Copies of this chain bind each other. A is one copy, B any other.
Amino acid sequence: MTNPRQRTESEPLLTPSEVATLFRVDPKTVTRWAKAGKLTSIRTLGGHRRYRESEVRSLLEGNTNTPVEV
């Protein structure tokens, strides 16, 4: 699987608990942020949420706008 070319280029994703740890909040709170549209959420086929690491980092720096441009 060691392909020299970069196939399947994608962006790193974070789990709810990882985001919760970064913000020092409860994972439920992160879920509410996603529900409220304050955070972009990518769902797995099982219904669980994954979050964009780039967006989370921007939010951690105090950015309240939407820096989503991938």
Contacts and interface: CB of A to CB of B under 8 A. Distances in A.
Interface of A: 1, 7-8, 10, 12-15, 17-18, 21-25, 29, 33, 36, 38-39, 42-46, 50, 53, 59-60, 62
A62 B39 CA distance: 15
Contacts of A24: 12-15, 50
Contact of A45 (B1, B13, B14, B38): B38
B8 A25 contact: no
Contacts of A50: 23-24
A14 B23 contact: no
A53 to B, nearest CB: 7
A23 B24 CA distance: 20
